[in-house]
Amino acid sequence: MGFAQLVIGPAGSGKSTYCSGLYQHCETVGRRIHMVNLDPAAEHFSYPVATDIRELISLDDVMEELGMGPNGGLIYCMEHLEDNLDDWLDEQLENYLDDDYLVFDCPGQIELFTHVPVLRNFVEHLKRKNFTVCAVYLLDSQFVSDVTKYISGCMASLSAMIQLELPHINILSKMDLVSNKKDVEEYLNPEAQVLLSQLNRHMAPRFGKLNKALAELVDDYSMVNFIPLDLRKESSIQYVLSCIDNCIQYGEDADVRVRDFIPEED
């Protein structure tokens, strides 16, 4: 069995920076992970790329040869990946052994993980190859500055959660850039009544029923809460990684095998 993180989130949310910080942390603690680039438009990396979608197709080539714009070209690239799951991807996965840990750095086009089925089919293929996958959704902490932006972030995260049907971890990235962390902390795990009260203060009275429905939706899906991540702190990275490992039960089989070889005491 293999393990994988699918790193998703809006453009500019810090996915590649997260991947770099995660790799450096794992290298420091002696843990082996493999970084996979799924962004056909990526150019520079601050971590070693083990597998790269640009070996299959790149956005620059698509835009030049087909005359597409950046957004349409990226969708074309990802659909081309979907068409080659049984060929190119399977060939890449043969390079990894059981218990290998892959981190997929995904593009930032939000439609890829909200309503276009490409990533969903990609995940289903990984599952058929006996990978246990967790979705890691990043949201820029500077974006969550008031309740309306928080609700918007929750809706996008919830849409991805429903679309992908995976164990799901939400992360507030770039916490090191937040000047007043108390403004963010109140949104890490808020109560529905608090959200409703704040929404009603920010919006016209005619939106009262909509505000109530949104607050209840966030409350019903109580998994939509966020873990703050400050990449300057090893403890913060370790905590996020431990939450992800717990979601996919990484390392539990290894613990069992170790115990099997411990001799019983007389």
Domain annotation covers residue 206: no
Average pLDDT over residues 167-173: 91
Q: What is the CA radius of gyration of the chain?
A: 20
Helix axes 118-128, 70-83, angle to 10 degrees: 30
Residue whose C-alpha is closest to residue 38's, from 27, 51, 28:
51
Check pLDDT > 90 for residue 77: yes
- The vertex-35 CA angle with 29 and 40, nearest 5°, equals 155
Q: How far, CA to CA in Å, does 131 sit from each of 24, 101, 166, 222?
A: 23, 9, 12, 26
- Any residues with CB less than 8 A from the CB of 87 and at least 6 apart, and which? none
Question: Is residue 150 a part of any domain in this protein?
Answer: yes
More confident residue, 153 or 131: 131
Mean predicted confidence (pLDDT) in 52-58: 95
pLDDT of residue 222: 60
Q: How many domains does the chain fold into?
A: 1
Residue 111 has pLDDT above 50, yes or no: yes
Residue 218 lies in a domain: no
Q: Which residue has the higher pLDDT, 31 or 202?
A: 31
Binned at pLDDT 50, 70 and 90, residue 179 comes out as confident
Of 110-119, 166-175, 189-198, which one has max mean pLDDT?
166-175
* High-pLDDT (> 90) share of the chain, %: 55
- pLDDT score of 252: 66
Domain, as residue range, for 104: 2-182+224-248
Mean pLDDT for all residues in the chain: 87
In a domain, 106, yes or no: yes
- What pTM, to 2 d.p., does this model score? 0.87
Residue 194 lies in a domain: no
Q: Is position 264 within any domain?
A: no
What average pLDDT does the segment 48-55 reach? Answer: 94
What is the number of other CB atoms lying within 10 angstroms of the CB of residue 105?
25
CATH number at residue 78: 3.40.50.300
Residue 142 pLDDT class (50, 70, 90 cuts): confident
